[in-house]
Structure 1
Amino acid sequence: MRLQDKVAIITGGASGIGRGMAHAMAKEGAKIVIVDVNEEKGRATEQELNELSQGKFIKGDITDRAVIKHIVEETVSTFGRLDIMVNNAHVSKQMPFVDTTDDVLALSFNTGFYPTYYFMQECYPHLKATKGKVINFASGAGLNGMLNQASYAAAKEAIRGLTRVVANEWGPDGINVNLISPIAYTPGVENWKQHFPAEYEATVNKIPLRKMGDPEQDIGRVAVFLASSDSDYMTGQTLMVDGGSIMLR
Structure 2
Amino acid sequence: MLTLRDKVCIITGASSGIGQTTAVLFSTLGSKLVLNGRNEKNLAETVQLCENKNNIVQIVGDLTDSQIQRLILKICVEKFGRIDVLVNNAGILQNGGIENLKMEDYENLMNVNVKSVISLTQLCLPYLIESKGSVVNVSSVAGSRSFPNVLAYCMSKAALDQFTKCVALEVADKGVRVNSVNPGVIITNIHKRAGHDEEQYKQFLEHCKNTHALGRPGTANEVANTIAFLASDNASFITGELVHVDGGRHAMTPR
How would you bin the TM-score normalised by the shorter chain?
over 0.9
Scaled by the length of structure 2, the TM-score of the pair is 0.91
Q: Return the offset for 1:200.
A: 2.1
Instruction: Report Cα offsets for 1:198-230 as digits up to 9, x if no partner.
Output: 3321123321222222212x1111111001011
* 1:162-241 mapped onto 2 (5 Å cutoff): 162-183=163-184, 184-188=186-190, 192=196, 194-196=198-200, 197-216=202-221, 218-241=222-245
Q: For 1:23 and 1:227, how far apart are their aligned partners in 2?
A: 14
Report SS of the residue matched to 2:251: coil
Report SS of the residue matched to 1:145: coil
Q: For 1:214 and 1:200, how far apart are their aligned partners in 2?
A: 12
Deviates more, 1:237-246 or 1:88-97: 88-97
State the percentage of identical aligned residues.
30
Structure 1 counterpart of 2:123, which letter? E
Does the Cα contact within 8 Å between 2:143 and 2:160 map onto a contact in 1?
A: no
Instruction: Report Cα offsets for 1:98-147 as digits up to 9, x if no partner.
Output: 21122111011111101110011000111011110100122222322111
Q: Return the offset for 1:52.
A: 6.8
Q: For 1:207 and 1:177, how far apart are their aligned partners in 2?
A: 27
Q: For 1:198 and 1:169, how far apart are their aligned partners in 2?
A: 43
Structure 1 counterpart of 2:225, which letter? R
Unaligned residue ranges in structure 2 (runs of 5+): none
- 1:160 matched to which residue of 2? 161
Scaled by the length of structure 1, the TM-score of the pair is 0.93
Structure 1 counterpart of 2:199, which letter? H
Does the Cα contact within 8 Å between 2:14 and 2:36 map onto a contact in 1?
A: yes
CA RMSD across the alignment: 1.9
Query: For this pair of structures, how many residues does the alignment match?
Result: 247
Instruction: Report Cα offsets for 1:40-68 as digits up to 9, x if no partner.
Output: 00111112224577322100211122320
* 1:50-61 mapped onto 2 (5 Å cutoff): 50-51=51-52, 54-61=55-62
1:94 aligned onto 2:95: yes
Structure 1 residues 207 and 92: CA distance shift in structure 2, 3 A: closer
Does the Cα contact within 8 Å between 1:11 and 1:35 map onto a contact in 2?
A: yes
Report SS of the residue matched to 2:244: strand
Structure 1 residues 210 and 189: CA distance shift in structure 2, 3 A: farther
Structure 1 counterpart of 2:47, which letter? E
Q: For 1:142 and 1:162, how far apart are their aligned partners in 2?
A: 11
Does the Cα contact within 8 Å between 2:11 and 2:34 map onto a contact in 1?
A: yes
Q: Return the offset for 1:190.
A: 7.5
Q: Return the offset for 1:160.
A: 1.1
Structure 2 counterpart of 1:107, which letter? N
* Structure 1 residue ranges (4+ consecutive) displaced by more than 6 angstroms after TM superposition: none
Structure 1 residues 163 and 188: CA distance shift in structure 2, 3 A: closer
* 1:1-249 mapped onto 2 (5 Å cutoff): 2-51=3-52, 54-183=55-184, 184-188=186-190, 192=196, 194-196=198-200, 197-216=202-221, 218-247=222-251
Q: Return the offset for 1:194.
A: 3.3
Structure 1 residues 41 and 234: CA distance shift in structure 2, 3 A: same
Q: Return the offset for 1:189.
A: 5.0
Structure 1 residues 130 and 50: CA distance shift in structure 2, 3 A: same
